[in-house]
Amino acid sequence: MRTLDLIIKKRSKERLSKEEIRFLVDGYTKGEVPDYQMSAFLMAVYFQGMDEQEASDLTEAMLYSGDVLDLSQIKGIKIDKHSTGGVGDKTSLVVGPLLASLGIKVAKMSGRGLGHTGGTLDKLESIPGYRIQLDETSFIRQVNEIGIALVGQTQELVPADKKLYALRDVTGTVESIPLIASSIMSKKLASGADVISLDVKVGSGAFMKNVESATKLAELMVQIGKRFGKKISAVLTNMDEPLGFAVGNSLEVIEAIQTLNGHGPKDFTELCLELAGHTLVDAQIAGNLEEAKKMLLAQIANKEGLYTLKKLVEAQGGDGDYILHPDRFTPAKYQKQILSGSTGYVHHIDALAIGNAAMLLGAGRAKMGDEIDHSVGIVLSCKVGDFVQKNDVIATIYSNREDVFAEEKMIAEAFCFQKDPTSSKLILKVVK
C-alpha cells in the first residue's frame, strides 16, 4: 500500500477502504507519512468529500490512534456535550451542573478558546485555583462522588486529531464536513460517554454559516455516533447574534451563575434547557422534552444546579465562594459605554464582530499560546428585536487599557437598526 496511490484514488473520487484510511492515519501519526503527502490527501478530501462509511472509518482510525477512556467504573449513565463554538457560549457551565444534579454523570473534556470563540477551560480558570488537569483515577472518582468533572483533554487522547487539525489549519482544509465530523466525533467517542449532546452553531459568529451545511454536519456526526452505539442528538442553534449578553471569560461565568439562580438571559436559558432536555430524553431519564424541561427548571428553582457547580469548582481546587458571591470576581480596570447612533429596533448584531472585538481586548487568542485576560470583555444591553433610542447604551466594554477606540468602533458597527420590529429564532433544527 502506497500513500501516493491513496491520494490519487481519493482525488479521482473513489472510495477508500477502512484499511486504507487506517494506513494513512497511523502512518501520519507515527511520522511515516510526511506532511506534504497528508496535505495532498486532505485537499483531495476537501474537494471530493467522503461518504458516511469513509467518515466513520476515518473517525475510528483517529479514535484508536491513542488512548480511549474506560469509564466503566463510573456508575450510571455517562454523558458528554460538544459545541462547535460561538460568541458568548457558556452552556457547559449551566448544562453540566443541571444534568449532574439530576443524577446523570457528566464526564466532560473541554478545550481552550482560539480566535473569537471562548473555551470552557478559559472561563473556568477565571475562578481562582481551578485546576483543569486531573489524572484518570481522580477524574473517575470525582464523577462518581459529585456527578461531574470538567477537565482538559490529555495528550494521549486522539493524537491523530491534534496532528491533522494543525495541518488542516495551515493548508486551507479546515472547512470540510467529513474532516470536521471525524475530528469532533473521534474526541467525543474517546471520552467514553454513553450519551452525546451536540450543539451545532449556525450564523455569522459560527463556523457553519448556513443551515444547509450545518444540517449536513449534524446528520453526519449523529450517524457516526449511532454506528458506535451511542445515544446522540444534535441541536442547530442560531449564532447570528451573541448568546446571552456577556462575552468574555469571568463575565460569562457570572452570567452562567445568574442563569443557575433563575435570572439568566432568555435566549441563553432557552438553549440550556433545550440541550439538557434532549440529553435527559436520550438518557431515558425523561419521557419527552416538555417533561425534561420541567425537571431542569425545578433544579434551577431549588438551586441544586448552582450548588453542583460550586461542588465542581471546589473539587478541582477552585474557590467555590465565587459561585455564591460572583461580585468577588476582579472587575476590569476601565468600563466604556457604547451608545446607539440610531433610534429603532435592533435588526442584527454581528456576532463575529463582537467576538473579534472581545478577542482584541484580550478575552480570546489570535493564536495558541496567547495569554488570556479573564476580566475583560463586552456586555450587551440589548438583543435583536429590542427598541432603542438614539444615545441609549447598547453595550459596555470591560478593559484593562484605556484606549479601546478600535474595539468601540467594531462594536458600534456590529449593530444594525430598522424601523419595524424583527425577531430571531434560536433553535433552528434538531437532528436525532
pLDDT, tens digit (0-9, with 9 covering 90-100), for 13-40: 999 999 999 999 999 999 999 999 999 9
Cβ–Cβ under 8 Å, residues 81 and 117? no
Q: Which residues form the catalytic set?
A: 82, 161, 168, 183, 187
Across 175-180, average pLDDT: 93
Residue 154 has pLDDT above 80, yes or no: no
Residue type, 164: L
For residues 252 and 236, what is the distance between their CA atoms, to the nearest angstrom? Answer: 21
Strand partners, 143: none
Residue 425 has pLDDT above 60, yes or no: yes
- pLDDT tens string 203-231: 988 888 999 999 999 999 999 999 999 99
Quote the pLDDT of residue 50: 97
Cell of 332: 476590569
Per the listing, cell 446571552 goes with 244
Residue 116 has pLDDT above 60, yes or no: no
pLDDT band at 156 (very low <50, low <70, confident <90, very high): confident
Which class is 331-418 in CATH? alpha beta
Question: Same fold for the domain at 3-49 and the one at 78-324?
Answer: no
| Strand (E) or helix (H) holding 396 | strand 393-399
To 10 degrees, the CA torsion angle through 45, 51, 57, 58?
20
Residue type, 303: K
Cβ-Cβ contacts under 8 Å for 115 (sequence gap 6 or more): 355, 359, 364, 365, 366
Task: Give SS3 for 273.
Answer: helix
In the sheet where 387-388 sits, what is the strand order?
387-388, 344-349, 415-418
DSSP 163-192: HHHHHHHHHT----HHHHHHHHHHHHHHTT
Cβ–Cβ under 8 Å, residues 142 and 114? no
Q: Where are the beta strands (DSSP E) in 66-205?
A: 78-83, 105-110, 148-152, 195-202
Which class is 78-324 in CATH? alpha beta
Q: Flag whether the pTM goes above 0.85.
A: yes
Question: What is the CATH number that goes with domain 3-49?
Answer: 1.20.970.10
In the sheet where 334-339 sits, what is the strand order?
246-247, 377-380, 393-399, 334-339
Cβ–Cβ under 8 Å, residues 255 and 90? yes
pLDDT band at 165 (very low <50, low <70, confident <90, very high): confident
